[in-house]
Amino acid sequence: MADLTRDDILKLARLSRIDLEDSEVASYLSEMAEIIKYVELLQSVDTTGLAPTAQVTGLTNVMREDETWDYGYPAHDLMKNVPATEKDQIRVKRMIG
């Protein structure tokens, strides 16, 4: 088992951009040790002969192929009806910060 140190927890917190109090470091240290023990237990399970599983629900991809439809109007005529365009595309307000 990999022995975690206080410095390991502080480094993980810094990489995760989490500010930890001194009291929290000890708590996270014991929690992370338990998680690592559990992962080591899972790694010791014999999976010989088992197929890899990506998902277990049985769902299939419901996406369809993209199709182009001809509405009988050239694109440049349709673009005359939008408030703003840029490089032959509809310009919208920024959505992501």
Q: Are 40 and 34 in contact (CB under 8 A)?
A: no
Give per-residue pLDDT as tens, 28-58.
999 999 999 999 999 999 999 988 888 888 8
Distance CA 45, CA 48 (A): 9
Residue spans of the domains in the chain: they are 6-43
Q: HSE (CB half, 13 Å, CA atoms) of 62?
A: 2
Give per-residue pLDDT as tens, 86-96.
988 899 988 88
Note the pTM of the prediction, 2 decimals.
0.49
